[in-house]
Structure 1
Amino acid sequence: MRKFWLRLTDARLKAVLRALRDPGPGLGDLFESPAAAAAFFKPLRAGLRRAAAAAPGTPPASSQALAAAEDFVERLERVFSDLALHGTLPDAPVKEALLYLQRACGEAPALLFPGDRAGAFARIRGFSAGARKVLALARAAAEAAPSGFPQNLKFSSIYSGLDAVLDAYERCAEALFRI
């Protein structure tokens, strides 16, 4: 009951859940148009800033989750901004990793419900592990390929960026799980 009450009343938790949940459905649109990332993430960043300025008496775990959510949103936006900067669309490994992330985003709200918290956290970690495996294989292939060095270097940095996104998402999910 406490977690449900926190979910309803803690502005920081509301912002964190929105930041973790909302990118999931939007990732498909960002696949096609990475340049739209700034407009897509602007309301999420604004909501997180408002929540950070909200009631300072909120639990420390909410503050930890908020900081991790801010990091997650910034890093995910940076991945799509890098794709737009390089003028490329996500390749197959990036798409697959983002699909894993999309599934993990769908599990975020369950982290605050007692009946499914542990299961949701385990599924999030499983989706993250699947995405990391795809990215590790793609990064190894890009680094080993003798031709197309500039393109391989671009995608290698994008793979690293996505790995950092997954780290931030897992930190946020863990903070929510511990509330």
Structure 2
Amino acid sequence: MKRTEAPSVRIEPWSDSDLELLRRANAPELMGHLGGPESEEQLVGRHARYVALSADRTGRGRMFRIALTGEDEAVGTIGFWERSWRDQEVYETGWAVLAGFQGRGIASAATAAVAGQARAERKHRYLHAYPSVANGASNGVCRKAGFSLLGECEIEYPPGHPLLTNDWRLDLHPDR
């Protein structure tokens, strides 16, 4: 089997103009492991939080649109944000690549780029990802991006709904 080169992606800070991208990422095939699509009201609220997070320069995190280098069209979303996890402050990451662009290594390349952004904050040592145990593609992204599998855990997503996930962790500062 011939191996292809990883795609060249860029991540750009989330802006007011990215609401339509969020709507496109709200598709049933992309939200199946996350409790299903959100309502328009929920999307508008999420978009406002993404815009605010991306404007914040205190190191709380940031959201991005994913684009292929040399192209204008956004092909997905990714970000990192703070959370308390097992009595420790960490960053969490999550992503979505639009259906027509999946299977090309875009999520793995974007995850490496977002890890670099989180590392540059020099605020938290660890970046975690919590894909559903049933989401083979997202678990593969974590593996390919160099995360270590810590085991299964249960988180609430959406709030109030338990979700069995894998806890993947990337050491942002192994030299510490």
Whichever structure has more helix as a proportion of its residues is: 1
Same fold judged by TM-score > 0.5?
A: no
Whichever structure has more strand as a proportion of its residues is: 2
Higher CA-based Rg: 1
Give the structure, 1 or 2, with the largest relative contact order (CA under 8 Å, sep 6 or more): 1
